[in-house]
């Protein structure tokens, strides 16, 4: 940890910080600079000690900034866990080197609509069936999902078609209910820092699919994963789904694809990319999904709808059935080609 | 509503969109442009019609973009409600032209700490006592608040000192519990789009203090207010607390002070500014609070702590007691001066 | 063009706008909405008419916003020019379906350093040699380049090794000088809206490699290209090089890879990606370059240095010679595999 | 300076960095952390030493990040120059505690238009006359200014009316020409990192009004000032004019008003706020200008136009003459009230 003192901090302020660190049992190193002094703590601090010392010194007079030289996450860090984590459910293994495709409509609208979608996903080679029963919508006047009826449809369709399922849960008190019906709990971008929800999802022990918030930094994202993991649940899948866009005229969000190698380097958790929300435009889904594959992602989540024209939500980013089939064929071919290349 | 067709959309695609609008009972106006055609709907659509038509056409072939010429919020709009809304609780009236100061520590840490803070707030002329019982913290290893014990302290201290109280509620299932203990329910920036929470807060009928999310647009912010109001609760206070910063080296967030006149123009709801989170630096709180007053805000929420050096959270942005007293004196003097100026 | 009136605009204000449009020779269509009226102009406006009418109505009373339904660029638009533009120089053709690799050190530091770099680029299969003679540096105290001496080294080395060359020009009055020495004029991200420079680069007739500004929208980027093209120079290569990052802790910029399909859709100009500046981290260059290839880019620009440890600028994002060789081998293999896939 | 090593950096890599620092003549302090080691240099480095060491170590193996504990600017820093700098020209003194109002139309359109504007600015109590002769326009098809004729009008009108003048210069080769005609050289937001221009403006010795770039950090902004100052010109005025907006639906940019106290703390240079570009909306200019005054700014630059409806550029953000008069009256009254308050 490095404490940077303000310009013009007095020597008594500097001494006070150094003394406070000593009282906590650590040896401070004082580094005078050109226009300000820095104080380092050359020791291995655990997470609690870091928070403890940072809280203390941040409030002392003459302190300008506290910089952690360690990363703030622990369980999610590759440092703590060198091997890739593989999250398994049904016959799916996310993070084992395969490329997992999660697909389905934005919303579960009816048994027939969802069954048709599921059959298309399965027959085209998709691995996981997605669909929303509880829909977080920006406007209270938009379609909000079928709720419990949607969950029941999802379970029935998943069993009938023989495919694993994932759906979003929006609050902590619904975790157990949703967990009964599906294989994976999705936590949406707007809920990434819904801490009571993260804790309940952690307690459930179920695989958790965690979407990055639209303005979340990498550290905030991994700390949200840490909340889930700190409850004893190691089964977290990270999802990059686009961050807030500089320019909303052409895409809905900015897909931060470099987050894939960044997350794979700093964390052992599997990383999925959502190019449907990441761009908001159906015709950019395929190029960005393939780019995600090449960049090292463990899979993608894409929206497809049996009939996007009649979708009750987000139709403009959903692939049509023929588009989805073509997408799957191209993606699987690229996946094989990459495997061949890496074998040579 | 304006539907912009893609470049090169065929005339049959254009006709199909126009026909679909006619089937919904509206007359489309087709506007050919230099490189693309636009289709307008020259009618007063209500919120459901807007969503309905937008969902339909967004998925039609050849459609590039759907633009609403009406704003998406209704109850929160000044169009629907010309007069300023005044939110009243205890002896406080937010939005009546006075400048309301909400102050207190980030966290309720103990009865003594909180009582001391409350007495300072009250004696310096503050109007509402703030303090967190449930703390949303980025790291699971940071202090999370005293929970129910904190609520009890808040109620007891509020009654003892004679000051209205506000605290954050983080999930829908806690709304009723928190509502028993405090005057105003705060919904934090990270919960701005926690829709189940917004709905429960709406149902409670309690005054709701809604913070803008760090990457929320004005429309998203007012639609979050709309969620609360759509449950029959008109008592919403908007709070600008800083948006995600371009440059985090000097301030924690970017305080978007122009949001004050924007919100006051487009909505009738009162607007509070939080310069403590908005800058993250105690010494910028006073200038930005006064700027908020001059820009037309209905009040501020500021952090103060009896002893910031020992604060369990966010000490670096809290005012010390003497700083707070000076801040209050200066702010009240400026408020009076402005009143005198507008009277002349 | 759509003119959105303010809420509460009076009918005389609406009439005045409609009349003004009629005076310009166009027929306005008035579209009353729920809370505001919109006025459309259903005609093909050319660029001058658009600017003319927009300037006029933007200032009229009761007008809230003017929205162009046509894109503001013309020469850069695919509408105006359906086929892909191919920019040719030396034996290089950018935009013809091949994947062009431009590589070299950030700065030209000496004849020997640059010759070594050029030989490595050439022998590994790179197509264009890059290197800075005039370096835009954030700090005035950083190395600023060898200037004219650098240009001379670039020309000599390019001829000796037999490879096309590109370097940055920072001001309009230097365009002719730089144009004498190199094949392609690079306009840096910070100069994207240096309009006198764009105009001079346009007049030169030389191929222009235009980098997107760190906060430029797609429209602003294509309008910068339009400046060059409006001088009669169609040879513009667009370069996505990362936009301002939400999170600078792990990458220097956010590489906006979805800009590749967006730009290819809306413009006929070739698109190059710069993953070196786009991430700022040497080990992310290769995955992001391959992702760019898969996403449809016409090439990449990457930094390599014979000895990054001794680089005078930007060493942390430069590939070492063995890294560059491996990168080229993998990229060319992937390029061939993609060609095989698309042939099947 | 703090060098943070990568996770898993070997002890020989750590030793190599420490040795390299020793070779430069400094004593490194090695600080092992929980998951990575940091190396501090506890010495006062000057700017060249900082750049030198940073370039060296940034490229060494095992190095993850180099953090400067000193600020990168020197001449612009308040550390180097404790007293406020006052920039004087004509009878104007910027930074002496008064509140300077610079006003005028976006563009100089004709002698009559500009004379009318100048008389209004002067009679309403404005201090400096602004107006563009060379206009940086996003589109090449928009009005670009009257160029040399505009400069001549500006000088003639300024002399006739008796008011100091400011106009933008867009390239280094025009600095001397522009400097002949006006009192202050303005460098626009898009030119903030046009380094050849900064250097020429520095050499001219003229007062330089430097606008912050739309995505510039505070450090980048002050380093741009440093470029001017490093040429021996201390007369730099900083201008906050809004940064790239998260939400462009209601304002054109996000005015970062907290930059005022930040800049005043870290630099001795005067700070002006431009609420016209900062919001892009005429009716938000007055509240934000007053907020700037209260927040500690040394003045504002605002756009006014004798007839905004007929303005050739940016009419929607220009104040009309009666609005400007009211704005001036209110601002001067507030200025006096603040002076009275601080006197008590």
Q: What secondary structure, in 3-state letters, does B191-243 show?
A: HCCCHHHHHHHHHHCCCEEEECCCCCCHHHHHHHHHHHHCCCCCCEEEEECCE
Question: What token pair was written down for D177?
Answer: 């020409």
Helix C321-343 and helix C111-123, axial crossing angle in degrees, nearest 10: 30
Highest mean pLDDT among A310-319, B38-47, D132-141, D288-297: D288-297
Q: Which residue of C has its CA nearest to A297?
A: C287
Per residue in C165-183, pLDDT (tens digit) is 999 999 999 999 999 999 9
A138/B193 Cβ within 8 A: yes
Residue C18 zone, left/alpha/beta (φ > 0; ψ -120 to 50; rest): alpha
Q: In what order do the strands lie in the sheet with C29-32?
A: C29-32, C37-40, C2-5, C63-67
Phi, psi angles (nearest 5°) of residue A166: -145, 140
C-alpha closest to that of B129 among B179, B164, B100, B170: B164
Q: Which residue of D has its CA nearest to C249?
A: D65
Name all chains with 3 or more CB-CB pairs below 8 Å to chain C.
A, B, D
For residue D113, the distance in angstroms to the closest alpha carbon of chain C comes to: 16
Tell me the mean pLDDT in the region C41-70.
76
Q: Which residue of C has its CA nearest to D64?
A: C316
Local structure of residue D84 (DSSP, 8 states): P
pLDDT (tens digit per residue) in D75-96: 999 987 999 999 999 999 999 9
> How far apart, in whole angstroms, are the C-alpha atoms of residue B25 and residue B110?
63
Q: How far apart are CA A35 and CA A32, in angstroms?
A: 8
Chain A: closest CA distance from residue C187 (Å) = 21
Say whether C85 sits in a helix, a strand or coil.
coil
**Which of B256, B291, B337 lies nearest to residue D341, judging by beta carbons?**
B337
Q: Are D291 and B295 an interchain contact pair (Cβ–Cβ within 8 Å)?
A: yes
Tokens 């209110």 appear where? D330
Range scoring the smallest mean pLDDT among C205-219, C229-243, D38-52: D38-52
Mean pLDDT of C248-274: 96
Residue C282 vs residue B289, higher pLDDT: B289
Query: Chain A interface, mutation test: which of D5, D33, D37, D64, most A Cβ atoms within 10 Å?
Result: D33
Write the burial class of residue A330 (CB in 10 Å: 0-12 exposed, 13-18 middle, 19+ buried). Answer: middle
pLDDT for residue D304 is more than 90: yes
> Count of CB contacts below 8 A, A vs B?
124
Query: What is the sign, positive or negative, of the torsion defined by CA atoms of D184, D185, D190, D195?
Result: negative
Q: Give the pair of three-digit tokens for residue D245.
A: 């907006």
Strand A2-5's sheet: what is its strand order?
A29-32, A37-40, A2-5, A63-67
Q: How far is the alpha carbon of B45 from chain C, nearest alpha carbon, in Å?
A: 6
User: Confidence class of residue A26 from pLDDT cuts 50, 70 and 90?
Assistant: confident
- Collapse the DSSP code of B344 into the 3-class scheme (helix H, G, I; strand E, B; otherwise coil) and give the result: coil
Sequence-distant (≥ 6) Cβ neighbours of residue A33 within 8 angstroms: D1, D42, D43, D44, D45, D69, D70
What's the token pair of residue B55? 């969902």
Tokens of A159: 């069993």
- 3-class secondary-structure state, position C319: strand
In the three-class reduction of DSSP (H, G, I as helix; E, B as strand; rest coil), residue B82 is classed as: coil
* Chain mean position to CA C12: 45
Q: What percent of chain A has a predicted confidence (pLDDT) above 90?
A: 70
Rounded to the nearest angstrom, the minimum Cα separation between A246 and chain D is 7
Secondary structure letter of residue D250 according to DSSP: T
Q: Which residues pair with B208 in a beta bridge?
A: B185, B236
Distance (Å, whole) CA C318 – CA B150: 54
Please list, residue by residue across D73-83, b when 16 or more beta carbons sit within 10 angstroms of its beta carbon and e when fewer do: bbbbbbbebee
DSSP H helical segments within chain C, as ranges?
Answer: 11-23, 47-58, 111-123, 148-161, 175-181, 195-204, 218-229, 259-266, 275-279, 282-295, 321-343
By mean pLDDT, which of B125-134, D45-54, D318-327 is the weakest?
D45-54
Instruction: Report the alpha-carbon distance of residue C255 to residue C276 in Å, rounded.
Output: 10
- Interface with D, mutate which of C65, C67, C105, C138 (most D CBs under 10 A): C138
Tell me which of A195, A210, A236, A281 to substitute to probe the interface with B (most B C-beta atoms closer than 10 Å).
A195
Q: Can you tell me which residue has the tokens 């020495």?
A: C181
pLDDT band at D175; cut points 50, 70, 90:
very high
* pLDDT for res A314: 66
How far is CA C246 from its chain centroid?
A: 21
Shortest CA gap B254–chain D (Å):
6
Residue D177: CB atoms within 10 A of its CB come to: 12
Q: What's residue A43's pLDDT?
A: 67
> Closest Cα of chain B to A158: distance in Å?
26
Q: Which residues are within 8 A (CB) of D312 and not within 5 positions of it... i.e. 6 or more apart?
A: C55, D106, D107, D109, D143
Q: Which residues of A touch C343 (CB under 8 A)?
A: none
Q: Residue A91 has what pLDDT?
A: 95
Which of C242, C227, C295, C297 is closest to C84 using CA atoms? C297
Question: How big is chain D by its Cα radius of gyration, in Å?
Answer: 23
Distance CA D310, CA D313 (A): 9
- Of residues C32, C40, C44, nearest to B34 (C-beta): C44
Residue B89 corresponds to which tokens in the numbers above?
Answer: 């609780």
- Per-residue pLDDT tens digits for D106-141: 999 999 999 999 999 999 999 999 999 998 888 888
Mean pLDDT over C33-37 rounds to 71
Nearest Cα of chain A lies from the Cα of B91 at a distance, in angstroms, of 32
**Which region among B59-73, C288-302, D166-180 has the lowest average model confidence (pLDDT)?**
B59-73
Lowest mean pLDDT among A239-248, B64-73, B121-130, D5-14: B64-73
Taken in order B331, B335, B337, B338, the sign of the CA dihedral is: positive
B170–A60 CB contact, under 8 Å: no
Give the position of tokens 């937001």: D189
Q: Cβ of B33 and C1 within 8 Å?
A: yes
Q: What's the pLDDT score for residue B315?
A: 65
What average pLDDT score do residues C317-328 get?
94
Residues in D touching B341 (Cβ below 8 Å) = 330, 333-334, 337
Q: Do C246 and A217 touch (CB under 8 A)?
A: yes
C266 has pLDDT over 80: yes
Name the token pair of C200.
Answer: 């001079």
Residue of B228, B308, B293, B305 whose CA lies nearest to B267 = B228
pLDDT tens digit sequence for A57-94:
877 888 877 877 777 888 999 987 999 999 999 999 99
Residue of B nearest to C1 (CA): B33
Residue D273 pairs in a beta bridge with: D240, D300
Q: Mark yes or no for CB contact A278/C258 under 8 Å.
A: yes
> pLDDT per residue over A40-58, tens digit each?
886 667 667 777 788 788 7
Could you tell me the CA-to-CA distances from B334 to A116, B273, C86, D337 in Å, in that order? 66, 16, 64, 8
Task: Quote the percentage of chain B above a pLDDT of 90.
Answer: 70
Which of C4-13, C130-139, D166-175, D308-317 has the lowest average pLDDT? D308-317
- D42/A34 CB distance under 8 A: no
3-class secondary structure, B244:
coil
pLDDT of residue A50: 78
In this prediction, residue A197 has a pLDDT band, given cuts at 50, 70 and 90, of very high
**Which of D71, D72, D73, D261 is most worth mutating to test chain B (most B CB atoms within 10 A of its CB)?**
D261
Distance CA A235, CA A228 (A): 9
- Report pTM: 0.93
Other C-beta atoms lying within 10 Å of the C-beta of residue C43: 16
For residue B39, what pLDDT is reported?
87
Backbone angles phi, psi at C325, to 5 degrees: -60, -45
Exposed e or buried b for every residue in D266-302, given b needs 16+ CB within 10 A?
bbbbbbbbbbbbbbbbbebbbbbbbbbbbbbbbbbbb
Residue C184, strand partner residues:
C166
Q: What is the mean pLDDT of chain A?
A: 92
Confidence (pLDDT) at D44: 66
The residue among C40, C154, C66, C113 whose CA lies nearest residue C307 is C113
């Amino acid at each position: 940890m490095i404490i940077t003192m303000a310009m013009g901090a007095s020597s008594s302020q500097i001494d006070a910080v150094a003394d406070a660190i000593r009282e906590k049992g650590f040896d401070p190193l004082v580094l005078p600079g050109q226009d300000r002094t820095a104080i380092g703590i050359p020791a291995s601090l655990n997470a609690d000690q870091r928070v403890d010392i940072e809280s203390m010194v941040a409030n002392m007079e003459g302190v300008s900034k506290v910089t952690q030289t360690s990363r703030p996450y622990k369980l999610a860090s590759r440092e703590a866990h060198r091997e890739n984590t593989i999250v398994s459910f049904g016959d799916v293994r996310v993070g084992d080197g395969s490329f997992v495709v999660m697909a389905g409509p934005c919303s579960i609208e009816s048994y027939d609509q969802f069954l048709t979608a599921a059959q298309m996903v399965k027959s085209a080679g998709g691995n996981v069936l997605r669909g929303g029963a509880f829909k977080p919508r920006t406007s209270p006047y938009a379609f909000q999902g079928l709720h419990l009826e949607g969950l029941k449809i999802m379970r029935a369709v998943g069993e009938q078609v023989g495919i694993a399922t994932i759906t979003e849960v929006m609050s902590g008190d619904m975790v157990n209910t949703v967990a009964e019906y599906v294989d994976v709990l999705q936590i949406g971008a707007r809920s990434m820092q819904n801490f009571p929800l993260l804790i309940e999802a952690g307690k459930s022990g179920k695989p958790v699919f965690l979407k990055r918030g639209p303005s979340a930094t990498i550290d905030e994202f991994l700390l949200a994963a840490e909340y889930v993991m700190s409850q004893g649940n190691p089964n977290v899948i990270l999802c990059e789904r686009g961050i807030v866009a500089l320019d909303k005229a052409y895409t809905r969000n900015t897909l931060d694809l470099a987050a894939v190698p960044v997350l794979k380097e700093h964390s052992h958790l599997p990383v999925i990319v959502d190019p449907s929300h990441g761009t908001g435009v159906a015709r950019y889904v395929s190029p960005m999904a393939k780019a995600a594959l090449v960049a090292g992602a463990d899979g993608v989540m894409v929206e497809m709808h049996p009939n996007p024209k009649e979708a009750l939500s987000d139709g403009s980013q959903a692939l049509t059935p023929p588009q989805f089939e073509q997408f799957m064929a191209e993606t699987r071919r690229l996946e094989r080609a990459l495997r061949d290349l890496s074998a040579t």
